[in-house]
Amino acid sequence: MQHKAPSSPQGFVVQPRRLPKAAADLRVQDFGEIIVKPTKANVETQAGRCTDCGVPFCQNACPLQNNIPDWLGLSAEDEMREAWRIASATSTMPEICGRICPQDRLCEGSCTLNQSGWEAVTIGSVEAFIGDTAFDNGWVEPIRPLHERGQSVAIIGAGPAGLAAADRLREQGYAVTVYDRHDRPGGLLIYGIPGFKLEKRVVQRRIDRLIDGGVTFVSNCNVGVDVTLDELRERHDAVLLAMGVYQARGLSVPGGGPGDTVAALDYLIHQNRRDLEDPEQADWHHARGRRVVVVGGGDTAMDCVRTAIRQGAESVVCLYRRDRENMPGSAREVTNAEEEGVRFEWLGAPKALLSQKGEITAVRAARMALSEPVFGQRREIVPVPGGDFDLPADLVIEALGFEPEAFADHHPDLALTDWNTVKVARSGFATSLPGVFAAGDAVRGASLVVWAVRDGQDAAAEIDRFLRSQSQEAAA
């Protein structure tokens, strides 16, 4: 809805929100980012919409507590270098969070303009612009520690938690080695999140900066197989576990056999590898010309349906057992998917996979209904008698969420929570193993990039304190 521009109480003309988003029919033609780089004029106008309301709800809703009103004000005045200085003080990757945070649930969801009937300032887009401008102008400082501390840290996992910790620890002068079982650093930033949300070059320039600053990356190293946790504890003065959560929940319905369905992350990895121009492999999944059903209602499911659309699927349906209001995925992503041609089958639970001559032909689903609301409880879903229906399909993608892998296998004394995530001290990141810390999804369960960044930064500060006390003890 378009607002007529009225005057704010301060007398300023309030401009409407304008997010520079590519039109759906154009953006589905490739895997480029759908939020395109705003013009300087757009940034100045949008940043200038901030009313500097005095109570920075946006800042409080940001997991990094970013000083949003200050860098908005500076951007509105074209003081971009100073805006960058402030934005980068609290975040090791502003240009990445600005692109992929679910802002509608975080900073922008709390913007005062929303509360007063206006649409929020485009905080994420401005933040990404500040970061991109800093890279383009060479303002992103290289990591050059004042002195080398002579102590080393192993980080297991090169996702956002590991990268954020590596950044901060290297700045403090520690020798940092990041071990990852993938062939490239980046974790889900590279191999999970599709290019239409976050282009790979944006992640790569962050990794390049770390390499240039002296961080060592050891790829294709599966800790627990190629090297043990105890061996890393021997080699390094501290260890950070930042391995994320990767055990995919699977469908448990009759019909179909091994290989008949595709795990969401495998599907996304194959497309991400194409974007990275890896040589095409025969076993990579592709949706071209196929009728695709994606089962699940989270952000991973949204990434799969939108990838299938871009690959040229004949039809794409998202099957989710609850209704729109109760789905875990971000409302913004559902809107994007609908604009791009995805059909949502709400209140439908998979019941069986149907095949002919060994090929999947359809997903049989039960029609569900929500139980009556009970205060303080999530509404149950119950099948509607006689409501079964079939969705024609020749590619079924399972996007039912992730659980931790068997972290306990790394060490018998590594304590876990009831949810099998790594257990850390109540106020911090220390695990039950001396000198071993943990951060990101491995601790929280499947979460968000911005929380992984926050954890990585804070864990680095705790590791720094731990190592300083170790060296003081050694000196005493």
Ligand X SMILES: Cc1cc2nc3c(=O)[nH]c(=O)nc-3n(C[C@H](O)[C@H](O)[C@H](O)COP(=O)(O)OP(=O)(O)OC[C@H]3O[C@@H](n4cnc5c(N)ncnc54)[C@H](O)[C@@H]3O)c2cc1C
What residues make contact with ligand X under the rule CB under 6 A?
100-101, 156-162, 179-182, 187-188, 192-193, 197, 221-224, 242-244, 268, 299-300, 303, 440-442, 447-450, 452
Stretch that binds ligand SF4, among 103-111, 168-176, 222-230, 282-290 (CB under 6 A): 103-111
Give 383's strand partners. 368
DSSP state of 325: G
- Taking alpha carbons only, the member of 254, 250, 336, 253 closest to residue 296 is 250
Q: Does 127 bind ligand SF4 (CB under 6 A)?
A: yes
Of residues 160 and 350, the one with the C-beta less far from ligand X: 160
Stretch that binds ligand SF4, among 101-109, 327-335, 392-400, 424-432 (CB under 6 A): 101-109
Binder to ligand SF4 among 106, 240, 414, 443 (CB under 6 A)? 106
Q: Select the binding partner of residue 448 from ligand SF4, ligand X, none (C-beta < 5 to 8 A, by kind).
A: ligand X
Binder to ligand SF4 among 68, 121, 242, 368 (CB under 6 A)? 68
Number of H-type helices and E-type strands within the chain = 17, 16
Q: Does 66 bind ligand SF4 (CB under 6 A)?
A: yes
Q: Does 305 bind ligand SF4 (CB under 6 A)?
A: no
Nearest approach, Cβ of residue 92 and ligand X (Å): 12
Q: What angle do CA 26, 301, 123 make, to 5 degrees?
A: 60
Nearest approach, Cβ of residue 91 and ligand X (Å): 13
Locate 303 and state its tokens: 């990434």
Of residues 68 and 223, the one with the C-beta less far from ligand SF4: 68
The Cα 261–Cα 378 span in angstroms is 29
- The DSSP result for 376-405, as a single string, is TSPPPEEEPTT--EEEE-SEEEE---EE--
Of residues 46 and 103, the one with the C-beta less far from ligand SF4: 103
Binder to ligand SF4 among 76, 123, 240, 313 (CB under 6 A)? 123
Q: Does 103 bind ligand SF4 (CB under 6 A)?
A: yes
Q: Select the binding partner of residue 62 from ligand X, ligand SF4, none (C-beta < 5 to 8 A, by kind).
A: ligand SF4
Nearest approach, Cβ of residue 32 and ligand X (Å): 16
- On the 0-12 / 13-18 / 19+ scale of CB atoms within 10 A, 148 is exposed
Report CA 163 to chain centroid distance, whole Å. Answer: 13
The Cα 160–Cα 154 span in angstroms is 15
DSSP state of 107: T
Q: What angle do CA 6, 106, 462 make, to 5 degrees?
A: 140
Q: Select the binding partner of residue 64 from ligand SF4, ligand X, none (C-beta < 5 to 8 A, by kind).
A: ligand SF4
The Cα 11–Cα 412 span in angstroms is 65
